[in-house]
Amino acid sequence: MREVFRNELDDLATQLVEMSTRVSEAIRLANQALRSNDLELAEQVIEADIKIDSLQHVLDQQAAEILALQAPVAADLRAVIGALRMSASLERMGDLARHIAQQVRIRYPESAIPEHFTHTFVRMGESAEKIAEATRELLSHPGLEMVPTINAIDEELDELHLSVFSKIAEAPQGSLAPHHIADVTLLSRYFERFGDHAVSVSQKVEYLLTGNWEPHLSKK
């Protein structure tokens, strides 16, 4: 019975890795669609999010069954609860990648990024891809090494998010239409929240490995 239980926990971990892999691919393709104003690629990201949602549903259902049938305690209970919370964050990261792609679709054939903001969103996209890959690596090889890296990248995204509002304020009067301001505000928020959810995953991993609910390495 104990071996079956360990296999069930290992299966939860494997599913988290698959979710993070799909999230990493989703943000990569969403960034590409945003930069190149590629409607077909944006549609691909939107459709693929269904699979991430499905993976979360399956994982959460299995975790609930483990809680009901195995009644885990101590570290095993932390692992199951952690998996539930991480799956929620990963699903949300997938949603945010989808939202970026949807913004491309909404604004097409015009670009969703005004020229004045191109460099900022290129940097945001690069940071989002890096934090997604760091999250995938963290879940594939659990340890504390990637936690500070994820936190540092999230700080980059926070700074870039704030810089968008500075650029809006500094733009010459009349150079930005209301829909331009709405687009860059929404997109910036999506990227910023993407980073926050990656930090949430890293906090749960830190908790699982150390037993400390208050994270020391990841952002509070």
CATH of the domain at 2: 1.20.58.220
**93: in domain:** yes
Contact 52, 91 (CB under 8 A): yes
In a domain, 217, yes or no: no
The answer to whether residue 73 sits within a structural domain is yes
Task: Confirm whether 215 is domain-assigned.
Answer: no
Indicate whether 198 belongs to any domain. Answer: yes
What's the domain range around 140?
1-210
Q: Which two tokens stand for residue 131?
A: 């934090």
Q: Which of 58, 82, 81 is nearest to 139 (CA)?
A: 82
Look at residue 35 and tell me if it is in a domain. Answer: yes
pLDDT per residue as tens, the chain (220 positions): 567 778 888 999 999 999 999 999 999 999 999 999 999 999 999 999 999 999 999 999 999 998 888 777 778 888 899 999 999 999 999 999 999 999 999 999 999 999 999 999 999 999 999 999 999 999 999 999 999 999 999 999 999 999 999 999 998 888 899 999 999 999 999 999 999 999 999 999 998 888 776 666 665 5
Distance CA 82, CA 191 (A): 24
Query: Does residue 19 lie in a domain region?
Result: yes
* pTM value surpassing 0.75: yes
Q: Is residue 123 part of a domain?
A: yes
If one counts the domains in the chain, the total is 1
Total residue count of the chain as it appears in this document: 220
